[in-house]
Structure formats: C-alpha cells, structure tokens
Structure 1
Amino acid sequence: MALIPFEPFRNVDGWKRDFDRLFNDFPAFVRGDQQFGAHRIDVHETAEEVVASCDLPGLEKKEDVQIDVQGNMLTLAGSINRTHEVKEEQMHQRERFFGRFHRSVTLPSAVDEDGIKASYRNGVLEIRMRKLQPPPRKQIDIEFH
C-alpha cells in the first residue's frame, strides 16, 4: 500500500476559483444589486498578451471609464449616464443599466503596466496588456566536494 502525504490545503485554489465563478456569474437581479456583476468581462491570453473584453453599452465619452492595473488585478470603474430620461410614472419596465459601476478581475499573468492599450467599439471595451517576460532562470553552480 502506497503512502500519500496529507496536504490539507491542496484544493484551496480550486475552491477559490469555484467561489469566484459562482458569485461572478450569479445574476444581478437575483442579488438585487445592479452594479455587482452587471458588466461581464472575458479575459484570455495569447503568447504575448492578456486581453480583457467588457460589455459597456452606453458609454458616451472616454472620461466615463477608468482602467487601473496594479499587480495582477484589473479594475474598471466609471459611470453610464442616460441623456433621455423618462419620467418614473411613464416607465413600465427597467432593465438597462445606468449609474456607477466598479468591477475587478484577477489577471492570469503579470502584465507590463506601460504596455496597456484600450479601445472602445460597438459597446465593447477591449484592453490589451503586454505580458511581462519572466527573468531567465539562473543555473546555480554546486560546489561538490
């Protein structure tokens, strides 16, 4: 019978990922919170960069959104305003988001904060971040006696 060492925290990373997925995918209307999870973000990576795409329909000018990258955390914050407001008594159904939003996601790789480019087209904000290249591994010479 083979002995397997006991590692009590072996699955913690998997649990964290599952909890993040559960709460990020949980519909905003069930939580009663428009801001949390109202804007979905897709993050993928290529060999050279990390790309984040976020649906932000209704942005009118670039000053309405702020992008912040610190370490491996991407944060989007801003506001979506409605210019043609309808009186409350005339409103029958309200589903479209407006107001302030704030969203943070963990990036899969370290990125170069100076190499970030963002573009907004057809209601989608795309952020391209150049990956930091890891330093080359150094071979350690062993003094063998």
Structure 2
Amino acid sequence: MSTIIKRPANPLADLLGWLESESAAMRSFGATPYIRVEDFIEDDNYVIRAEMPGVDPNKDIQIDVAGDLLTISGERREEEHARNRSELHYGAFERTLPLPAGAKPEEVRATYINGVLEVRVPYAIEEPKTTRVAIEHNGS
C-alpha cells in the first residue's frame, strides 16, 4: 500500500531535488559518479535503497543525518589491473535526500546486502495540535 508523505517546505531540500533531476542527463554520460536510489514507505519506515556494488560498507560508505536531510557518501576505490576497457565509475560519490516530516534520525538503521544499501528511517506522522486562543477585549 502506498502512502503519500507530506513534507514541510524546505527550500534547501527543494533545491537539492531540482539539482539532482536537472543533472541526471550529465550523469548518464558518466560525467559524475552517481548513486542510483529508490525510496518508498513500508510500515512506519521511509526506506531508501541505493545501488552500490563493489564497495566495502565498513570502509567506503558513510551515512549522515543533518536536520531533515540524509546524506549517503563514500568512495569506490579503483583496483590496479591490466585491462582494455573500464565502464565502471570510481572515486567519491554523494547523494542527499530529504526526510519526511516526523523522521526519527536517532533510530535510522542501514544494511548492505548483495551490493544494495538499504536505509530505514522510522517516522511518525504527527497530527497538528490545535490550541484555542483567548480573545482579549476592553469590557465594553
């Protein structure tokens, strides 16, 4: 079952999303090492899956959460081989994604299986609280 997540307005997250979509054409030509991701909601988790074959998750990958942004960064190290062709991307990479409202960064968990990094971010949708405001008047 799909769930739509409402994210609060965040100009930085919007800019990052725009930049990622606009520069996708450059990535297809191999100009930038890039992390391909998919994201979805499963139960009460925002799940991000990233293709990252050929890296050591203990040495080459770092995940950071700052505010409502999650950043996956690292490096794919080139091995020395006598070869005729190389179509693999080596070097540093980074991808920043906005987190949904109610994300719990202190509970983020990540696993790496068969070249796929999976990051699970628990979140709770909080209903807005209503507060009644008293109206002051002059008593007339």
TM-score of the superposition, structure 2-length normalised? 0.71
The alpha-carbon distance between structure 1 residues 17 and 77, as it changes in their structure 2 partners (threshold 3 A), is closer
Structure-2 residue corresponding to 1:86: 81
Gaps of 5+ in 2: 1-10
Cross-structure match for 1:140: 132
How far has the Cα of 1:143 moved from its partner?
5.0
Tell me which amino acid in the other structure corresponds to 2:24. D
Distance 1:21 1:80, change over 3 A: closer
What is the number of equivalent residue pairs in this alignment? 125
- In percent, how many aligned pairs have the same letter? 25
Q: Which residues of structure 1 form unaligned runs of 5+?
A: 1-11
Q: Tell me if structure 1 keeps the 8 A contact 2:108–2:119.
A: yes
Aligned position for 2:103: 111
Cα pair 1:50 1:109 within 8 Å, conserved? no
1:26: which partner in 2?
25
Residue deviations 1:81-117 (CA, integer Å, cap 9, x gap): 244x224xxx332211222111112223341111100
* Displacement after TM superposition at 1:138 (Å): 2.6
Whether contact under 8 Å (2:16, 2:96) holds in the other structure is no
For residue 135 of structure 1, report the CA deviation from its aligned partner: 6.0
Within the candidate set 104, 120, 128, 1:128 is matched to: 120
Contact 2:57 2:112 in 1 (8 A): no
Counterpart in 1 of 2:55? 59
Preserved CA contact (<8 Å) 1:43 1:52: yes
User: What is the aligned partner in structure 2 of residue 5 from structure 1?
Assistant: none
Question: Does the CA contact (< 8 Å) of 1:71 and 1:110 recur in 2?
Answer: no
Higher Rg of the two aligned structures? 1
Give me the CA root mean square deviation: 3.0
Question: What CA distance in whole angstroms lies between the structure 2 residues aligned with 1:112 and 1:101?
Answer: 25
Give the TM-score, by structure 1 length. Answer: 0.69
Q: Which runs of 4+ in 1 moved over 4 A?
A: 15-18, 141-145
